[in-house]
Amino acid sequence: MIESLLEILITGLILGGLYALVAVGLGLQYGVGRVLNVSHGQFIMVGALMTWSLFTVLGISPVIALGIITPIMFAIGYALDWWLFNDLREDSVNDDHFEARSLLASFGLVFVIQNLMLLYWGGQQRGYTFLNSPVVIMNDRYGANRLLALGVAVGISVLLYLLIKRTRLGKAIRAAAEAPEMASALGINRRQVLAVSFGVGAALAGLAGVLYSMMFLLTPGAGTELTLVAIVVVIFGGLGSITGSLVGGFILGLVTSVVNSIDPSLSVITFYLIFMLILLIRPSGIRGRKIHAD
């Protein structure tokens, strides 16, 4: 009994770590810049397929790929906010107008990025073997790659929390998100802060893609499913709350693990049932601002 509970717990933490990392980048992009980036899953798959290419073609370890792909994805995200979303932001009448326009723009990015992936990598499933040797914990076996992914996800989550809460950049990000006029009056370059925030969100998506590639088969079309996962976790945790996204990811990972231990076919149903219930019962999520219809 204890071993079964431990297996459910560890599996849930592994899934939760991945869910949290998948969602927190999207939560940062929306919480700071008001961009509900529905192409977030495509960014994750770009990171995953880049990892596959680095490992299978050049023999570069996914661990090393973390240090290569993360800054590349940051640069892409930074450039997108600077040249695309910032122009939309400046031309919009108000924040609600900008949210609608940025949502449409990110829908366009879904098709652009997905077709670029299909053009370069094709549509077939791809995968590789990395650290798949079993690690025995209380007579249960876990892939070393999954435990590594959990450790990296937890470590990055802690570092992100410290970045937002304890550093000057984090204070500038929070100021730009919570009181943009006051931030500008205090001399904070809001455009720069928003671009950095979007870049960090894209970097986290690429990092999540590296970890995802170590555990699952890859196809360009999987990005849409990952976007849905990210949106569910972000809304569960609370729109605009980074810590809510982290906590929500781990909670949903544990719930998924429990349901899988009973009947794996119910996991998707349970996942979206929780999503609907949170919208009906507590639209603000664990923490964060409430979603308004008007």
Place 288 in a pLDDT band, splitting at 50, 70 and 90: low
Task: Flag whether 273 is in a domain.
Answer: no
Yes or no: say if 20 and 250 are a contact pair by the CB < 8 Å rule: yes
Task: Flag whether 16 is in a domain.
Answer: yes
* pLDDT tens column, 124-166: 888 888 877 777 666 667 678 888 888 888 888 888 878 877 7
Task: Flag whether 140 is in a domain.
Answer: yes
Give the C-alpha separation, 229 to 71, whole Å: 24
Side-chain half-sphere of 284: how many Cα atoms within 13 Å?
5
Give the E-state strand segments of the chain in sequence order: 134-137, 140-143
Task: Flag whether 286 is in a domain.
Answer: no
Task: Flag whether 139 is in a domain.
Answer: yes
Yes or no: say if 239 and 291 are a contact pair by the CB < 8 Å rule: yes
Structural domain total, the chain:
1
Instruction: Give helix 190-213 / helix 2-33 axis angle, nearest 10°.
Output: 150
Show the tokens assigned to 94: 């108000």
Task: Flag whether 4 is in a domain.
Answer: no
* Domain containing residue 183: 10-221
Place 1 in a pLDDT band, splitting at 50, 70 and 90: very low
* pLDDT exceeds cutoff 60 at 290: no
Task: Flag whether 150 is in a domain.
Answer: yes
Average pLDDT, the chain: 82
* pLDDT tens column, 12-36: 888 888 888 888 888 888 878 888 8
Q: Higher model confidence: residue 27 or residue 69? A: 69
The pTM score is 0.87
Whose tokens are 């431990």? That residue is 6
Task: Flag whether 15 is in a domain.
Answer: yes
